[in-house]
Structure 1
Amino acid sequence: MNEQIIFEKIKEELEKAPRNQFTLELHLQMIKYADDLKTITAKEFCAGVGLKESFGTEFSKMRNLTNRLKSAGLKTDMI
């Protein structure tokens, strides 16, 4: 899937998320699209989604966590 399309989908989900669920939704979306975004940097992710660069650390964490979750049986395409 095209990165721009993914960024737009993530933005849409973040806009729909209740204020107190923003970070949770962000983490979920990062996990969901980790495989499709494995070639981009955290800085590129933040720019694409319109987030502060400080969220780049979260992107890196979730990408690493995704590998562990998938090893345990998570199917990211089911999120």
Structure 2
Amino acid sequence: MSNKAIFEQIKLALSNAPRNQYTAELHLQMIKFADELKHITAKEFCEEMGLKQSLGTEFSKMRNLTTRLKAAGLNTKQI
């Protein structure tokens, strides 16, 4: 899947998330696509998504957390 398609899918998921679940959905999407987006920086992610740069830290955290979750058996393709 192309980066453009991934970003569109994330934007769609965020737009459909209940207002009080936006951040949780953002984290979930970051985990879901961590492998596909491992070659981009947190800054690039935020720019592409139109997010505040401060959320770049969250992107980095979720990418690191994904490694541990996958080691524990998580299949990100099922998210």
TM-score (norm 1): 0.98
Q: Tell me which residue corresponds to 1:42.
A: 42
Partner of 1:36: helix, strand, or coil? coil
Please give the alpha-carbon distance, in whole angstroms, between the structure 2 residues aligned to 1:3 and 1:48: 10
The total of aligned residue pairs comes to 79
What letter matches 1:58 in structure 2?
Answer: E
What letter matches 1:28 in structure 2?
Answer: L
Unaligned runs of 5+ in 1: none
Q: Tell me which residue corresponds to 2:59.
A: 59
Unaligned runs of 5+ in 2: none
What letter matches 1:19 in structure 2?
Answer: R
Answer yes or no: is 1:10 the counterpart of 2:13: no
Q: Report % sequence identity.
A: 70
Aligned residues: CA RMSD: 0.5
